[in-house]
Amino acid sequence: MINFYSYTNNEYLGVFILLITATIIASILIIFSFFLVNQIPDSEKMSTYECGYEPYENSRNIFNIHFCTVALFFIIFDIEMLFIIPWCLSISKINLLSFWTTIDFIFELYVGFFYLWYSNALDWE
């Protein structure tokens, strides 16, 4: 018969201590930040825009989502290219399976890039 009490007690004791410690530290920081800060609210601080500038136009205008998609594509391809740097540095020490696996990864990277190019996802029009 398995003793579940000793299993869970030994395995999750570190997680429980971490959770309690994080809760105590977060509570202390929130309490200290509330009592140690000089809180003098004025009309400018309590306004909708806390930066102090008047808004230039209505905040409900239409935002072009193309900025976000191009940024996501850039991040995806940039991170994928970062995976190739260690491969280039250790290419003399890898075996044949690792070599062809990375070649397949690069091929899939090119397929994704050409699909974005073909579907005109990178055009601004």
Assign 107 a pLDDT band (cuts: 50, 70, 90). very high
pLDDT tens, residue by residue, 23-77: 999 999 999 988 888 777 777 666 666 565 666 666 677 777 888 888 888 888 8
Q: What percent of the chain has pLDDT over 90?
A: 16
**71-77 long-range CB contacts below 8 Å, 24 or more apart?**
73/116, 73/121, 73/122, 77/109, 77/112, 77/113
pLDDT at 88 over 90: no
* Residue corresponding to tokens 């391809």: 77
Find the helix or strand (DSSP H, E) in which 107 lies.
Answer: helix 96-118
pLDDT at 2 over 60: no
Helix, strand, coil % in the chain, rounded to nearest 5 = 65, 0, 35
Both tokens of 68, joined, read: 């976000």
Cβ neighbours for 51, distance < 8 A, ≥ 6 positions apart: none
Q: 115 vs 32, 80, 110, CA distance in Å?
A: 53, 16, 8
